[in-house]
Structure 1
Amino acid sequence: MPALWRWYTGYKQNQLTQSMQKVNEPLIEAYKQQLALIKDEIETVKKSQVADLHDKIYREGDKLLEQGYLTVDQMDNFVHLFNAYSMLGGNGTGEAMYNRVIQLPITSTNGKSLVDEAIEIHERKENG
């Protein structure tokens, strides 16, 4: 391929690329603005979820601390709340409450706990 032809095709390709970029600029800008709005909305929902979980951890934690012990099911529920709270970025006072609650003694439930039943359900599903 002659050098002049390579230059010409490269030049045309570059012009086409630039033209496409110019045509797409408004679409790209609109996309970026929409993406920023979505990110802001997700962050707002995340903050409200952290606040809601924090409130639940406090209410449940106060109840359990007053009770003075945990059942296996109560511990399972509390750990689920805290794990979700923690994964969303919550910490500090919610973590302090968690640390106090998990120090409580665990008592056995009368009969099978929900955790035991859940384990059985999962085993049945896995084994067909």
Structure 2
Amino acid sequence: MHFLDKVMELNSVLMALGFGSITVVGKGIYNQVKKSKYKTEQRFKNLEFANVALLHDKIYQQCSFFIGQGWVSVDDLENLEYLWRGYHNLGGNGTGEILYNKVKDLPNKKMEG
């Protein structure tokens, strides 16, 4: 019986080590996934910010042109609305909104050609 007790004790130690190893590996995988998720979320926020900046720039350029021109075509106004909708839905506002509303108030003319 003494020999069998030693085998059982050794088996218990090996099982504990095996379970501990699984726990350590599992925790390591969890930490890597958590870190990767955080990096992905940060990257997504940066891309979203960059998109808002690009849309703002394009809206600003187009609005400045149309305001200086004194009129806007229906097609150009529709195109500007697509840009505005994306910009607004991503949280952009401020000067972009002010300029967009000024262009919406401009007279509409048909494009020649």
TM range (shorter): 0.7 to 0.9
In the alignment, does 2:65 pair up with 1:63?
Answer: yes
Report the equivalent of 1:45.
47
* Structure 2: tracts of 5 or more residues without a match: 1-18
Of 45-54 and 19-28, more deviation after overlay is shown by 19-28
> 1:29 deviation in Å?
1.2
> 1:108 deviation in Å?
2.7
Runs of 4+ in 1 over 6 A off after TM superposition: none
Report the equivalent of 1:99.
101
Greater relative CO, 1 or 2 (CA 8 Å, sep 6+): 2
Cα distance between partner residues in 2 of 1:92 and 1:28? 41
Report the equivalent of 2:76.
74
What is the aligned residue count?
Answer: 93
- Code of the residue aligned with 1:93 in structure 2: it is T
> 1:109 deviation in Å?
3.6
TM-score, normalising length from structure 2? Answer: 0.74
Alignment partner for residue 89 of structure 2, among 87, 102, 106? Answer: 87
* Structure 1: tracts of 5 or more residues without a match: 1-18, 112-128
Identity of aligned residues (%): 33
Cα distance between partner residues in 1 of 2:28 and 2:69? 61
Report the equivalent of 1:28.
30
Question: Alignment RMSD, CA only?
Answer: 1.9
Cα distance between partner residues in 1 of 2:32 and 2:38? 10
Bigger-Rg structure (1/2): 2
Cα distance between partner residues in 2 of 1:44 and 1:110? 41
